[in-house]
A and B are shown apart, each in its own frame.
Chain A
Amino acid sequence: MNDDSEHPDLSSRKYPVREDMAYQLKVWRFERLGWYLLVLLMLLGLAGLFSRGLLSSREVRSEDGRVSVEYEMFHRNGSTNSMKISVSGAPESTIELQLAGEMLEGFSIETLQPEPVHARSSDQGIRLGVQTDTQGQANLFITLRGDGLGLFRSRIVLPGTRDMKLNQFIFP
Chain B
Amino acid sequence: MDSVLRAAAMYLALLVLFKIAGRRSLAELTTFDFVLLMMIGEATQQALLGDDFSLTNSILVIVTLIGIDVGLSLLKQRSSWISRLIDGEPTIIVENGKLLHRRLRHARLVEADVMEAARSSQGIEKLEEIKFAIIERNGKISIIAREN
Contact = CB atoms under 8 A, between A and B. Distances in A.
A30 to B, nearest CB: 7
A25 interface: yes
A19 B21 CA distance: 21
Contacts of B92: 13, 16-17, 19
Contacts of A35: 20
Interface residues of A, number: 22
Contact of A9 (B21, B22, B101, B144): B101
Contact of A7 (B50, B84, B91, B102): B102
Dominant SS among interface residues on chain A = helix
Nearest to B95: A13
Contact of A17 (B90, B101, B103, B106): B90
Given A27-B88, A38-B20, 18 more contacts: A4-B102, A7-B102, A10-B100, A10-B102, A10-B103, A16-B134, A17-B134, A19-B89, A19-B90, A24-B91, A28-B106, A30-B19, A30-B20, A31-B19, A31-B20, A34-B16, A37-B20, A172-B9
Interface of A: 4, 7, 9-10, 13, 16-17, 19-20, 23-25, 27-28, 30-31, 34-35, 37-38, 78, 172
